[in-house]
Amino acid sequence: MSRIVRLYRTGGPEQLQLEEATPEEPRYGEVRLKVQAIGLNNSEAQLRRGDYPLLKASFPTRIGRECSGIVEAVGPGVIDVAVGDEVSTIPTFDVQRNGIYGEWAMVPVEGLTKVPSNLNRLEAAAVWQQYLTVYGPFIEHASLHHADTVLITAAASSVGRGAIQVAKLLGCRVVATTRSPDKVRVLLEAGADRVVVSGEDLVGAVMAVSEGHGASLVFDPIAGPGILALAGAAMPGGLIVEYGQLATEPTPFPLVACMRKGLTIRGYTLWEITLNPLRREQAKCWIHDRLATGELRPVIDCVFPLDRIVEAHRYLESGRQTGKIIIDVASGARQ
Ligand SMILES: NC(=O)c1ccc[n+]([C@@H]2O[C@H](COP(=O)([O-])OP(=O)(O)OC[C@H]3O[C@@H](n4cnc5c(N)ncnc54)[C@H](OP(=O)(O)O)[C@@H]3O)[C@@H](O)[C@H]2O)c1
């Protein structure tokens, strides 16, 4: 027997039930992983609470999409990976059956990728959700040039930290936002040219950094009424990418700024890329290459053992993190 996490109803972190479950045999196209480490994502807290805008869980369900692991068994039709391979998961799958919180997980083979040799098992669980979320808007959608300004909101989130790295790699200037004055220093050290704390003059800061042009790309997981200031900070012809809904208030449409400046406001999820085999391979190559050179490196905020998964989710919801929260499964696994 090994332990997995299941949800039986929506609610607080205490709804994450760590329970014994005999590992299943993989079905066609699936692989069973011995999970080494799990990367927590904010959408998992939303799914658990029942307010994830993109998916309503049906119960009981497993949970989680991002882990590193060792291939333990392969199902029929699997030719690309073998028992013993060290892999990370890429979000291509539904969590009901394939959720990865636990000591074992059943994952479709297209949702796996090899671990770069310079990443340890904890870092290997902190790569794909953040960099694939960044890849679409920064590499596929926006035409960013050296010295362009990008505005990254909730910049201390794991996706935000990945976005700062990619923006600096492209030679862009970065304005980062946070609700917490305590995070300013860490965001400046991460490469932000300017950090704006909630309540400060965001449009003025972006105009100052961009020498009056505005932000070419606004990368925003918050939405809500703050979108009006984002439209004010965008440059004429700029792109605003909405990729999350952290705000609980409705999101007004910034019609006048949109008309005046010819803005594009675009919704985005990484599923655009992960469910398209060609785009997924291109994105994987781009990210793998930059992980190998060290130009991209996931930032880990803190590490919990699996038996403190409830506490880890409490911390995830606290908003105190400045990078990825990891569950180190291998260190506490029972043999
Ligand atoms: N579309 C996609 O494909 C995709 C993929 C991955 C993630 N996402 C979304 O991206 C967002 C970040 O995910 P993550 O896992 O990187 O998050 P995370 O690491 O858990 O960080 C969340 C951060 O967001 C900020 N925040 C939380 N609630 C907020 C609110 N109501 N208003 C403003 N800021 C708030 C907090 O930073 P401060 O306290 O510093 O403000 C917090 O530290 C989530 O909305 C998630 O659903 C979308």
**Digit-coded pLDDT (tens) for 48-91:** 999 998 888 899 999 999 999 999 999 999 998 999 999 999 99
Q: What angle do CA 127, 128, 134 make, to 5 degrees?
A: 100
Are the C-beta atoms of residues 84 and 78 closer than 8 Å to each other? no
Ligand 1 atom at minimum distance from 325 CA: 19
The 10s digit of each residue's pLDDT in 147-162 is 999 999 999 999 999 9
Is pLDDT at 335 greater than 70 in this prediction?
A: no
Q: Give, using CA atoms, the residue closest to atom 42 of ligand 1.
A: 319
List Cα–Cα distances, 35 to 105, 110, 158, in angstroms.
7, 17, 21
Which of 38, 42, 44 has most ligand 1 atoms within 8 Å of CB, for mutation? 42
How far, in Å, from the CA of 157 to the mean position of ligand 1?
Answer: 5
Tell me the Cα Rg of the chain.
20
Give the span between the Cα atoms of 29 and 40, in whole angstroms: 25
Give the span between the Cα atoms of 242 and 118, in whole angstroms: 32
The 10s digit of each residue's pLDDT in 109-153 is 999 999 999 999 999 999 999 999 999 999 999 999 999 999 999
Does 158 sit in the ligand 1 pocket, CB within 6 Å? yes
pTM over 0.95: yes
Is pLDDT at 263 greater than 70 in this prediction?
A: yes
Residue 11: what pLDDT? 97
Q: What angle do CA 139, 149, 141 make, to 5 degrees?
A: 25
Q: Give, using CA atoms, the residue closest to atom 33 of ligand 1.
A: 222
How far, in Å, from the CA of 319 to the mean position of ligand 1?
Answer: 8
The 10s digit of each residue's pLDDT in 273-292 is 999 999 999 999 999 999 99
How far, in Å, from the CA of 41 to the mean position of ligand 1?
Answer: 8
Residue 56: what pLDDT? 86
Q: Give, using CA atoms, the residue closest to atom 19 of ligand 1.
A: 157
Residue 142: what pLDDT? 95
Are the C-beta atoms of residues 262 and 131 closer than 8 Å to each other? no
Share of the chain above pLDDT 90, in %: 96
Is pLDDT at 333 greater than 60 in this prediction?
A: no
Which of 43, 51, 273, 325 has most ligand 1 atoms within 8 Å of CB, for mutation? 43
How far, in Å, from the CA of 110 to the mean position of ligand 1?
Answer: 26
Is pLDDT at 45 greater than 50 in this prediction?
A: yes
